[in-house]
Homo-oligomer: A and B are copies of this chain.
């Protein structure tokens, strides 16, 4: 078996678990029409696979992972969502992923638009949802190439560059996620992720400070070449 993220079982069960253990702290919405702000603790579930998709979300601060589980516990993380990103868009009326906060995270929940209204309505919000959907599709498609045809080192390099492009501050990337999350995103194991990072560090391509939760990109050119 691969990296089993040991959350108990199926969608129904985890929906129940969510009610028990997650701590959504609803606050007064900044403006009713614009959605309501909610804060989640590290690891808290924002929604579960199979939950009714009544809202879509925009990350205000922190970070979110959306993932799917196989029956035996293998997990695949579909995407990481950073501030400004919209997630939870669905065509049907159920969430096909679960979403969890990677750290203390604040999101804005917007009441969901039915698909029909999406096409019918012209508004900034509508446009944003269509754009977010297209972006999600593009990301998913390039992730398919990564998972289908790239080796471990290429995956790590591509991941670091992608993240750097989204949240780097002068070449330093502060990872909002654990090695397990990285592994489950890249279709690898935590050990392989660790070994690849060590190898990149030995080559002088990156630098990993003591606390291990940030990475300095020393040679983005080399990463680019690796990533393809």
Contacts and interface: CB of A to CB of B under 8 A. Distances in A.
Interface of A: 2, 68, 70-71, 74-76, 78, 91, 96-97, 115-116, 118-122, 126-127, 130-131, 133-138, 140-141, 143-145, 147-150, 184-187, 228
A180 B28 CA distance: 56
B70 A228 contact: yes
A126 B150 CA distance: 36
Contact of A116 (B68, B91, B127, B186): B127
Contact of A76 (B126, B138, B148): B148
A134 B91 contact: yes
Contacts of A126: 119
Nearest to A3: B149
Contacts of A134: 91, 115, 133
Given A71-B228, A133-B133, A137-B133, A187 B147 contact: yes
A74 B147 CA distance: 12
Nearest to A74: B149
Contact of A148 (B97, B133, B135, B147): B147
A216 B130 CA distance: 40
